[in-house]
Amino acid sequence: MTDKTEINDWVAFVKERIDVTGVEDVHVDDVSATAGGLSAQIIRLTIRAAEGSKSFFFFLLLCRQENFTSALFFFFYDWVAFVKERIDVTGVEDVHVDDVSATAGGLSAQIIRLTIRAAEGSKSVILKRTRPERLEGSIAMGIAREAEFFTHFASLVDADNAFVPKVYYSAVECDGYKVVLMEDLNQRNGVQAGYFYGSNSLLNWGKDLKDLTKHFPAVSEHEITVRAFEQAARLHARFWGDNTLLARKYLRAAEWLTHLFQRCTTPRWSATAYKVVLMEDLNQRNGVQAGYFYGSNSLLNWGKDLKDLTKHFPAVSEHEITVRAFEQAARLHARFWGDNTLLARKYLRAAEWLQGENKELFDSTAKYSTNAWASFKKAQEEKKTVNISPEIDRLVASTASKVDFAAYTEMWKTKPWTMVHGDYHPANMMLVDGVHHATFDLMLLDWEAVGVGSGPQDLGQFMISHSTPENRRASEKEALAAYEKVLNEGLVARGLEPVTTEYILSEYVEGGLSRWAWLLAICVLYCPPAGGQYFHDQVLAFLNDHNVVPEEVGMMRP
């Protein structure tokens, strides 16, 4: 194993890798115990040089792939220097580092709150970076694209930071390692929108939703749903049918990392899927995950004290968050509706597919779901864990049988498309103290699945994920109307034709079901039985409420 004792000449090591003039000495200090080193060894290198002293954090991670072993090196300035270089704060004196991944919902990423003590006062920001132990999943899903989104699109989607958090710094290297430094929405009393959707949502099970949403007591699930649809409409209108998206090769899964690495002659980090994101700390705006407002029905809320988690927004309802989320989506969609410049961004999910490229990845992504469903059905023969209705069995089988790359590519020649979030649900949003709205601002997070595709499809995925069928029925009409209004305002402002009510509803229903047909197979196989049953029941209720014949739904959408 490679460790710090195997590097004998640290002066030479530093000279080869860091631009420092006249290196005289290097002091090596292993700070893993205090710096949060989990699967990585963290070493502080204090360099004494002609131009003065400087310290770096040196992350040593041992990576094994089959019979290949290599040491991967990651460099950061010390936290004070790191902050000074990226955030406009006067007189930085100290930076406190706190890993908040457990409470902030970090799955593939490590989420760190940096509390900055400076001459002008204290301030906190959020640093999001890839977890070493999630390396394989990061490569497979291509989730480092989130940093590309913040770099290339965040200002186009939301220049005023009305629903996308303020990002101070984001980067993805040739290897795909990402870093995002963004505002702390907790400083705006952020509450996850999903908490307003009640205990029906799988993500809310076991959580005290009343306490989690108390800062927005008057906000309803219906209002959030309509707002979410409006937000989606803005996003979709912005990129509707924009063929330039197809050149953005990162708007898809997995292989874009390989392409990036092949084009990189001198990667600074490693040939991995690491990402680092440095963003504002939304806790400074009293940020609360929106999903907490969606009640204990949601799987992500089980076991949580939702009343306490949402107490900063006691008047906010699930409905209000939903409406706001739909409005946010509308702004995003309108901004990139049909924007052909996106197509050059190959890391945008599905950008290559819309151009008829990378059939192998499309097929493997589809098979990931169909293979999961086959494995689940086989396991059910031995022990029944989830009650699968005939309608859902038919839906998955029918949509899977229609998967065809040529037909998929052909579909987008006539169907409008735009930039889509790709994982649009309340748990990926935060409520913060309002700047653009009187009650709260809704911030959209976790852009790891950002890509090109159907705007209204994002909304169908949103509604199935969290809301109880009863709350969804109550919010659906108003939320879709809000989405349509904001989307068409954005399209008309760009000189584009407005979209019909019929098209939006059709894609909301069929797109949502086509997407969930792909997702459901994975959920029932890998979630605990109660979670698999939850998602099954959510999809079934949506299917029945819209009187859909399973065989009439198009191909599943990876």
Q: How confident is the model at residue 137 (pLDDT cuts 50, 70, 90)?
A: low
Instruction: Report how far residue 356's alpha carbon sits from residue 404's, in angstroms, rounded to the nearest whole number.
Output: 11
Instruction: Please name the amino acid found at residue 212.
Output: L
Helix, strand, coil percentages (3-state) for the chain, rounded to 5, are 40, 25, 35
| 194 close to 289: Cβ distance less than 8 angstroms | yes
| 471 close to 221: Cβ distance less than 8 angstroms | yes
pLDDT at residue 39, rounded to an integer: 38
Residue 144 bridge partners (DSSP):
none
pLDDT at residue 478, rounded to an integer: 98
| 258 close to 166: Cβ distance less than 8 angstroms | no
What is the three-class DSSP state of 272?
coil
Instruction: Report how far residue 422's alpha carbon sits from residue 408's, in angstroms, rounded to the nearest whole number.
Output: 17
The tokens describing 473, both together, are 């029925």
When mean pLDDT is compared across 214-228, 234-248, 285-299, 395-409, the lowest value belongs to 234-248
Q: Are strands 238-243 and 335-339 parallel, antiparallel or unpaired?
A: parallel
Q: What is the pLDDT of residues 394-446, one digit of tens each?
A: 999 999 999 999 999 999 999 999 999 999 999 999 999 999 999 999 999 98
Mean pLDDT of the 18-41 span: 60
Alpha helix positions (H), 405-526:
405-411, 455-465, 469-493, 501-506, 512-526
Q: What is the pLDDT of residues 452-510, one digit of tens each?
A: 999 999 999 999 999 999 999 999 999 999 999 999 999 999 999 999 999 999 999 99
Q: What are phi and psi of 127, to 5 degrees?
A: -110, 125
Whether residue 179 has pLDDT greater than 80 = no
Q: What are phi and psi of 154, to 5 degrees?
A: -55, -45
Instruction: Report how far residue 493's alpha carbon sits from residue 498's, in angstroms, rounded to the nearest whole number.
Output: 10
Instruction: Report how far residue 320's alpha carbon sits from residue 223's, in angstroms, rounded to the nearest whole number.
Output: 2
pLDDT at residue 263, rounded to an integer: 32
- In this prediction, what percent of the chain has a pLDDT beyond 70? 79
| 423 close to 203: Cβ distance less than 8 angstroms | no
When mean pLDDT is compared across 7-21, 193-207, 398-412, 519-533, the lowest value belongs to 7-21
- Residue 160 CB neighbours (<10 A): 10
- 278 versus 90: the higher-pLDDT residue is 90
pTM beyond cutoff 0.85: no
399, with CB counted inside 10 A (0-12, 13-18, 19+), is buried
Q: What is the pLDDT of residues 300-359, one digit of tens each?
A: 899 999 999 999 999 999 999 999 999 999 999 999 999 999 999 988 999 999 999 999
Whether residue 517 has pLDDT greater than 60 = yes
Contacts of 383 (CB under 8 A, 6+ apart): none
**What is the DSSP code string of 328-389?**
HHHHHHHEEEEEGGGTT-EEEBTHHHHTT--HHHHHHHHHHHHHHHHHHHHHHHHS--S---
Q: What is the pLDDT of residues 110-119, one digit of tens each?
A: 888 888 888 8
